[in-house]
Structure 1
Amino acid sequence: LWGGFSINNATLNRFYSLHFILPFIILFMVIMHLVFLHEKGSTNPMGINSNYNKIPSNPYFSIKDTLGFIILLSLLLLICLMNPYILSDPENFNQANSMITPIHIQPEWYFLL
């Protein structure tokens, strides 16, 4: 990512490459983590190696995680559908008039970073 004193083509290409490749690397690492957990299992803090109280990961925790994801997605969808303008600017509701400039013209918050 080392570049010059200004942002030019080389810097942008490096950042775009990093942002494209990084999710695939993270996905690969998560899959490898799950494979190793499935093959070797995990250890507990006590260091006891007993198969008596172990719960298999696939049916129970997968269903629990999927159910949690569905519940959170449903809540987010409910909030977005019940109040879609919760984060919008009040100036967006004024009728457009090319002769009057709004008092406070400011970019969105993500452009200020």
Structure 2
Amino acid sequence: GQMSFWGATVITNLLSAVPYLGMDLVQWIWGGFAVDNATLTRFFTFHFIFPFIILALMMIHLLFLHQTGSNNPLGLNSNVDKIPFHPYFIYKDIFGFIVFLWILIFFIWKFNYLLMDPENFIPANPLVTPVHIQPE
């Protein structure tokens, strides 16, 4: 939509301030000489896949934390205060995940357009800037 196009244009053009490489970085991210449909599709795909990558890294982190345990900054090893990671923390994390997932599902079903900009339903047009965006 219109806001996606102009948002991608403005944010990616911030990279043009990098000395010597700025415009080459911008054109590499755009995949051409301007933001177009392929650029927006890549950005949408990235925004869809990136949370799954973060989730996988988080699961790997929890696996290593479960196997080796966390360290003590003082360097003292006492087994008196240790609480096993499984089942206590696993159940707590799963419960929190399910609660937030249900909240997200509720908002998606009931208020799916609540946080969306109405101008994003307008097809992208590089010749027309949205009215409320004014140069400072």
TM normalised by structure 1 equals 0.53
Residue in structure 1 matching 2:84, options 32, 35, 56: 56
Between 61-70 and 5-14, the greater mean CA deviation after superposition: 61-70
| Residues 73 and 26 of structure 1, relative CA distance in 2, 3 Å threshold | closer
Give the drift of 1:47: 1.9
TM norm structure 2 = 0.46
Query: Cα gap change, 1:67/1:109 in structure 2, threshold over 3 Å: closer, same or farther?
Result: closer
RMSD: 3.5
* Structure 1 unpaired stretches of 5+: 88-107
- Once the 2 structures are TM-superposed, how far is the Cα of residue 9 of structure 1 from its aligned partner? 2.2
Report the structure, 1 or 2, having the larger helix content. Answer: 2
**1:8 matched to 2:36:** yes
The structural deviation recorded for 1:69 is: 5.8
**Alignment match, 2:116:** 110
Structure 2 unaligned regions, length at least 5: 1-27, 121-136
CA deviation profile, 1:44-87 (whole Å, cap 9, x unmatched): 2222122232100122223334555677789x6xxx9xxx9xx9
- 1:25 equivalent to 2:17? Answer no
Same amino acid, percent of matched pairs: 49
Larger Rg: 1
